[in-house]
Amino acid sequence: MTEQLIIAGERRDAVEGATFTVTEPATGQPLAEVAKASPADVDLAVGLATTAFADGRGTWARTSATLRGRVLYRVAELLREREDLIATAEARGAGHPIGDARWEVGAAAGTFEYYAGAANKHFGSVVPVQDAGLDVVLREPVGPVGLIVPWNFPLLIACWKLAPALACGNPVILKPASLTPLTALLLGDVLVDAGVPADQVYVLPGPGGVIGDALVSDHRTAKISFTGETATGASILKASADHIARVSLELGGKSASIVFADADIAKAATDAPMSVFGNAGQDCCARSRILVQRPAYDEFVEAFVAATKAIVVGDPLDAATEMGPMVSAGQRQTSLDYLEIGTGEGARHVSGGEVPDGPGFYLHPAVVVDVDNSMRIAREEIFGPVASILPFDTEEDAIRISNDSDYGLSGSLWTGSATKAIRVAKSLRTGTLSVNTNRSVRFEAPFGGYKKSGLGRELGMGAMDAYTEVKNVFFSEED
Ligand code: NDP
């Protein structure tokens, strides 16, 4: 059976009838056959979404924000009710351990609950201008939005975009990654079943270079929100330039975790492995550069390696699994290549990096030490389970090394000194920083990157700004 795409809330075949095969990372075998959208489907979807939006006079745009919020609460409820189905699809389709996949469904529901509450709390203002009259600032939905997402957190990242876009009254056209389209389609069904008007909902699996580009280039697409590689983000900026689409970009990272010698080293070292190896290292926030102050370096490395060896790598559907397979053979090969590059550059590969016998795209988490920040493994995003540990001497060194990167997405800081934490936090060029923890993302707070890690911010109330236009209306009181 083919998984059909979603046009105006309805499951249907692609216009040209083409399909493609999705592979299960744990087995390397075909998992599903999925309808493959072409530019004709994009044209159809954007056309219908534009008609449904009707220059802001469409039903969803005009529905009261309170009612829109109620529908989004129902989306959250349905996500929780369908947790088994969706989490299993995410585990099989993306290789996420089932416990993580269940957490992801809960976080997706939490995101919808947040924006359900936000819907009627995001509004304009009255400005005290000098002219006689009333100056009112309105917030209006921007129009059809193209939401392009990667394969590493297929469900959650889609929800970070869908929930605020819908809360603001926009029609949504979701383009999932070709490796992982299954939960995006289930999510599309949830939106319609929850009561989002069918003509607002479109999910188009298909090749990004073809249909992603068609979606971005279409002058009727008012806004693009993209998460993926920096190079793709740059091409999207160019393709959307002619029609001045609103664009937000969440891109790659090469984040640093800085561990000062005055930190709780045992805690930092046991916490750090999953900050790199969570989701098999396929995480834009992965702290893949771990900077450790020299007096604590040996102790940290020993504890880090021990904690890494204890990570349970295995079948994503086994509840005991902490790290599943990588998403594809190609992604695994990239990590293996970087391990070779790193040792070739003089770093020491001290643990992991084995490919186990048997099917699937598994790779044991690898630790490379004595890395220098000039090496390619410290500069380029690997997007796999390879941790680089770098020694440093002074606070100034830590700041300099951490900031010496094209990226600036995330990072951590471990220290027992509050004043040092404040000083260093203020000096780091990164969009998200966690002190004495490695968790990066909270849906109530802004998330995004400095430098080549992105443009704009997702999550928090700020995301509501990103899906609205500002209109200033002045009512004269002169006769
Ligand atoms: P890609 O940039 O390759 O793909 C992301 C999405 O864009 C996919 O849906 C892809 O489709 C589509 N796409 C590809 N080419 C184009 C194009 N020319 N125009 C429009 N859309 C296109 O990224 P990956 O899927 O490989 O994801 C990994 C990357 O995402 C990493 O660099 C990671 O750091 C980053 N990322 C960033 C996050 C953040 O919040 N900052 C969060 C998660 C990941 P298709 O799959 O069909 O190629």
Does residue 381 line the site of ligand 1, with CB under 6 A?
Answer: yes
Task: Answer yes or no: pTM beyond 0.95.
Answer: yes
In a domain, 116, yes or no: yes
In a domain, 70, yes or no: yes
Residue 155 and residue 181 in contact, taking contact as beta carbons nearer than 8 Å? no
- CA 124 from centre of chain: 28
Q: Do β-strands 125-127 and 10-12 pair in parallel, antiparallel, or remain unpaired?
A: unpaired
Residues 247 and 262 in one domain: no
Does residue 253 line the site of ligand 1, with CB under 6 A?
Answer: yes
Does residue 216 line the site of ligand 1, with CB under 6 A?
Answer: yes
| pLDDT at 309 (0 to 100) | 97
Residues 199 and 270 in one domain: no
Q: Is 168 a catalytic residue?
A: no
Residue 138: strand, helix, or coil: strand
DSSP 288-306: -EEEEEHHHHHHHHHHHHH
Q: Which amino acid is at 98?
A: I
Start-to-end CA distance of the chain, whole Å, equals: 69
Residues 349 and 434 in one domain: yes
Does residue 235 line the site of ligand 1, with CB under 6 A?
Answer: yes
Question: Can you list the residues of the chain whose pLDDT is less than 50?
Answer: none
In a domain, 365, yes or no: yes
Residue 383 and residue 280 in contact, taking contact as beta carbons nearer than 8 Å? no
Does residue 110 line the site of ligand 1, with CB under 6 A?
Answer: no
Ligand 1 atom 39 nearest Cα? 250
Q: Measure 299 CA to ligand 1 centroid, in angstroms.
A: 37
Q: Which ligand 1 atom is the nearest neighbour of the CA of 207? A: 47
CATH of the domain at 345: 3.40.309.10
Residues 231 and 300 in one domain: no
Q: Measure 265 CA to ligand 1 centroid, in angstroms.
A: 35
Residues 322 and 392 in one domain: yes
| pLDDT at 1 (0 to 100) | 79
Residues 234 and 319 in one domain: no
Residue 62, domain extent: 2-251+453-474
In a domain, 447, yes or no: no
- Between CA 285 and CA 407 the distance in angstroms is 11
In a domain, 291, yes or no: yes
Cα 37 to Cα 226, 228, 375, 416: the distances in Å are 18, 20, 41, 53
Ligand 1 atom 32 nearest Cα? 229
Identify the CA nearest to 382 among candidates 249, 258, 280: 280
Residues 138 and 235 in one domain: yes
Q: Measure 232 CA to ligand 1 centroid, in angstroms.
A: 7
Residues 299 and 383 in one domain: yes
Q: How many residues does the chain have?
A: 479
Residues 130 and 115 in one domain: yes
Residue 8 and residue 198 in contact, taking contact as beta carbons nearer than 8 Å? yes
Q: Measure 229 CA to ligand 1 centroid, in angstroms.
A: 5
Catalytic residue among 284, 285, 381, 458: 284
Residue 268 and residue 304 in contact, taking contact as beta carbons nearer than 8 Å? no
- Count of domains observed in the chain: 2
Residues 132 and 281 in one domain: no
Does residue 250 line the site of ligand 1, with CB under 6 A?
Answer: yes
- Between CA 244 and CA 240 the distance in angstroms is 6
| pLDDT at 408 (0 to 100) | 98
Does residue 409 line the site of ligand 1, with CB under 6 A?
Answer: yes
| pLDDT at 478 (0 to 100) | 87
Q: Measure 199 CA to ligand 1 centroid, in angstroms.
A: 26
Residue given tokens 């080293």 in the structure block:
265
Does residue 383 line the site of ligand 1, with CB under 6 A?
Answer: yes
| pLDDT at 257 (0 to 100) | 97
Q: Which ligand 1 atom is the nearest neighbour of the CA of 284? A: 34
In a domain, 295, yes or no: yes
CATH of the domain at 224: 3.40.605.10
In a domain, 448, yes or no: no
- Between CA 206 and CA 39 the distance in angstroms is 9
Q: What is the pLDDT of residues 284-330, one digit of tens each?
A: 999 999 999 999 999 999 999 999 999 999 999 999 999 999 999 99
- Between CA 200 and CA 48 the distance in angstroms is 8
Does residue 207 line the site of ligand 1, with CB under 6 A?
Answer: yes
Does residue 100 line the site of ligand 1, with CB under 6 A?
Answer: no
Does residue 209 line the site of ligand 1, with CB under 6 A?
Answer: yes
Ligand 1 mutation target, pool 111, 148, 204, 230, most atoms within 8 A of CB: 148
Q: Do β-strands 2-3 and 5-7 pair in parallel, antiparallel, or remain unpaired?
A: unpaired
| pLDDT at 301 (0 to 100) | 98
| pLDDT at 440 (0 to 100) | 84
| pLDDT at 152 (0 to 100) | 97
Query: What are residue 473's DSSP bridge partners?
Result: 136
Catalytic residue among 3, 250, 381, 458: 250
- The CA-CA-CA angle for residues 48, 50, 52, to 5°, reads 70
Q: Which ligand 1 atom is the nearest neighbour of the CA of 449? A: 41
Residues 273 and 168 in one domain: no
| pLDDT at 398 (0 to 100) | 98
Residues 380 and 458 in one domain: no
In a domain, 234, yes or no: yes
- Between CA 44 and CA 36 the distance in angstroms is 14
Q: Do β-strands 201-203 and 172-175 pair in parallel, antiparallel, or remain unpaired?
A: parallel
Q: Measure 161 CA to ligand 1 centroid, in angstroms.
A: 14
| pLDDT at 29 (0 to 100) | 98
Q: Is 104 a catalytic residue?
A: no
Cα 140 to Cα 21, 243, 468: the distances in Å are 40, 19, 5
Q: What is the pLDDT of residues 392-434, one digit of tens each?
A: 999 999 999 999 999 999 999 999 999 999 999 999 999 999 9
